Structure 1
Amino acid sequence: MRPGLRRSTSLAGAATAVLLVGCGVPLQRPTDVGEQAPPGPTREHWALSHRVPGSTSVRVVGQRVDAYAESTTVSLGRDASGAEVRCSVSVSAPGWGGPENMVGEKVPTTVQGRPAVRNGAGAEGDYLIWQRADGAWTQSMCEDEGQSAFQDRLAEIVVDEPSEILLPFDVSLPAGLEVSSVEQDVPSGETTVRLAGAGRVGTEEGALVLSFDGELDQPEGRKTVINGRPAMIDETARFPGVCLDVQGHDVCVRTDASDTGPYPDRSAELPMIMALAESLRFPDDLEDRSSWTAAQDVFG
């Protein structure tokens, strides 16, 4: 088992929850830290409403969905200097996004026949923004400056068709918990699902996280066995959690918080964390991606 229960800021993991049934243990909800999240959009379907067709020169490397937006990151080969070109297309939730808050001149153009704007003089970076037929604002941009040709290419190939994020597990959420975000590094399968209490979606504070093959810090805890799998439990007050070895992959359920605190005592959440770990279900062969479950089927 590779190092399991660790704190992380990387793209990885997946989080979920299930009620502890029939054992009489009340499940502590994620700690209510700081102020409630301001009113924002809500997501009912945990699938993407766009798709980037892959090819020999277009490789999907990342996917993310949260209440405010969905995005796909792609590798588009290498530029003239030999550096890998990574660009992303993001679609904002209805009523959000748009070019109004972009700095500098906005140059009118079109994308797939739709009205669009790109960055002009005084902009903070290259971008291309257009409004889909359903009213959602979509943006294409690349990680590095001077790659507008690649961002334009991505904008022209993205299609307004549903696509899925495939999860390496299945689970059910208890009442009072909501999905805040789903994120995956596609080549490695590293997956992170972040959960929040009702009214706290969109914040990092007081979150529960289940990570699959995440790059987390070395744990300190005690060894145990959960559903026949080796596991490590961290019972510290600030970041309680548990990690399992599942077919050679690290799967962790843990608390998380802002890097700047506050750091309340969250040890009362350990029964819920253990319930989540015990309730996770996995395909017989995690190396077979076709056996993974669509996030839409897990979370709705």
Structure 2
Amino acid sequence: MSHSISYLALNLLKCTRNIHLGTRTFTNINVTMEPNPQALLLSSSNCFGFNLLEFAKKDISEVLEKNAISEIIFIPYAQNDYEKYTKTIQSAMVPWGFTVKGIQEFPDPNTAINSAKAIFIGGGNTFLLLKRLYENNLVEQIRKRVMYENLIYIGSSAGTNVATKSIHTTNDMPIVYPPTFDAISLIPFNINPHYIEKPDLDKHRGETRDQRIGEFLQMPHANYVLGLKEGSILHVNKNLLIIKGVAGAVLFKKGQDKCEIPVGEDVSYLLHE
């Protein structure tokens, strides 16, 4: 295809071809039906007043049990000590009745993703995470499996950032260079995890989070940004987007005042704008 196509138009194609999305080409995707993504995008794994992942236990358990899934493949690429990070997640989720295996336990990460029914990509440094996903040729593979082959995606912090259109709105330092900021694109907009309204302005003299998001929105490639407060979750269920968790979100659009979004709000319209 030589012309650009919208997110929804792309998702309605029913043929095998090269698919152009933004600056990338996803090849050999056999689109035989409308996509059916299922994802839980968490602002973070930790939330004040809760143990690790506890605030998201109900939503994670419901999605996995609904799909008869008992084993999760954890991707710890956002940090350097894979074994330690995997054990940390295991300590939280195994008592819930789920098995957690680190992707590093498999001889080939691509084979691991092909055999997985659910993956969890944890937080850490977003630039490092995206670089490693590209190095292992997992970006397109994960997208295809989630969008068209019923792979459940759980992301937290950096793992949420890479699920979106791009990592432009991460809070992390660029400690490494990924080949591009373009990410998995399960949703056609950006998320800012760990969103905080404002710091203690009596002491803080740097930019606020709102100002930094505003700088991004001035760029021609920017559309809109969903700020997920700590304890907030974006539940993606095919063409349905719902804010879940224990805290709401904030929506930023070019030339408009930010909009507060409470828990339980349907934000599916973000797929159509």
Flag whether TM exceeds 0.5 (same fold): no
Structure showing the higher strand proportion among its residues? 1
TM-score range, shorter chain: under 0.3
Give TM-score scaled by structure 1 length: 0.26
Larger radius of gyration: 1
